[in-house]
């Protein structure tokens, strides 16, 4: 099990996230966080240095994309099960860190902004994996982020979203901001079909599967 995240690390992340939100740049707090970490993964709240426990078999394989890949542990897990992997993060520092950790990786690590995806990546993937990226964005940005993630899927492609879910009446706290069920359900209005959902026992974590219908 990963060690608990230091409360001061969480507070620092929350300050950066709130400042970026106030400036109308919801994804622009990741780069300063990775820069401030200065190579110490303990200063990155979500960096467990292991694949997420909800990444489990069977896997769709094919051409895969990993959204907000961070230090690369999830991307490397995907790479062992996919024909090719494009893993991106808005933070250039995170991408360089991942490349240093995995010098012989099959993964193509690249800096890219979810809100301005390269056109050649749209509709290009059989399998898209998103872990904790949506819950690190404020609610007013999530519909656009979800549409961008969905846009990566080829016809017949499958999307895995790993996130925390919170009740409608739960208190809004500091980042991370768990998703409401209706925020996940909104993927149906973006041309995707719900497939199934897996939960991590005794937690609020789920892995939600969606698919773009084949033409």
Q: C-alpha dihedral over 213, 142, 206, 174, to 10 degrees? A: 180
Residue 20 domain flag: no
| Omega before 99 within 30 of 0, i.e. cis | no
Residue 5's pLDDT is what?
62
Q: Is residue 68 part of a domain?
A: yes
Per-residue pLDDT at 1 exceeds 50: no
Please indicate, yes or no, if residue 129 is contained in any of the structural domains: yes
Assess contact for 69 and 89: CB atoms under 8 A.
yes
210 close to 191: Cβ distance less than 8 angstroms: no
The domain total for the chain is: 1
Give the tens place of pLDDT for each residue, 168-211.
Answer: 988 888 899 999 999 999 999 999 999 999 999 999 999 999 99
The CATH number linked to 128 is: 3.40.50.150
Domain containing 181 equals 48-211
What does pTM read for this prediction? 0.95
Residue 169 lies in a domain: yes
Q: Kindly tell me if the per-residue pLDDT of 126 is higher than 70.
A: yes
Assigned domain for 207 exists? yes
């Amino acid at each position: 099990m990963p060690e608990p995240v230091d409360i001061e690390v969480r507070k620092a992340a929350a300050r950066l996230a709130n400042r970026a939100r106030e400036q109308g740049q919801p994804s622009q707090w990741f780069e300063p966080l990775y820069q401030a970490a200065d190579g110490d993964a303990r200063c990155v709240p979500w960096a467990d240095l292991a694949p997420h426990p909800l990444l489990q078999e069977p896997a769709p394989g094919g051409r895969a994309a990993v959204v907000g890949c961070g230090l690369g542990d999830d991307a490397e897990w995907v790479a062992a099960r996919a024909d090719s992997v494009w893993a991106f993060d808005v933070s250039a520092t995170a991408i360089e860190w991942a490349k240093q950790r995995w010098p012989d990786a099959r993964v193509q690590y690249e800096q890219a902004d979810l809100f301005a995806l390269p056109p050649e990546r749209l509709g290009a993937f059989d399998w898209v994996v998103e872990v904790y990226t949506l819950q690190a964005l404020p609610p007013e940005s999530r519909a656009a982020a979800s549409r961008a993630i969905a846009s990566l899927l080829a016809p017949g492609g499958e999307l895995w979203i790993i996130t925390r879910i919170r009740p409608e009446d739960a208190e809004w706290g500091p980042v991370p901001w768990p998703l409401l069920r209706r925020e996940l359900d909104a993927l149906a209005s973006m041309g995707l079909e719900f497939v199934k959902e897996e939960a991590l026992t005794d937690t609020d974590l789920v892995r939600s599967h969606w698919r773009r219908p084949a033409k």
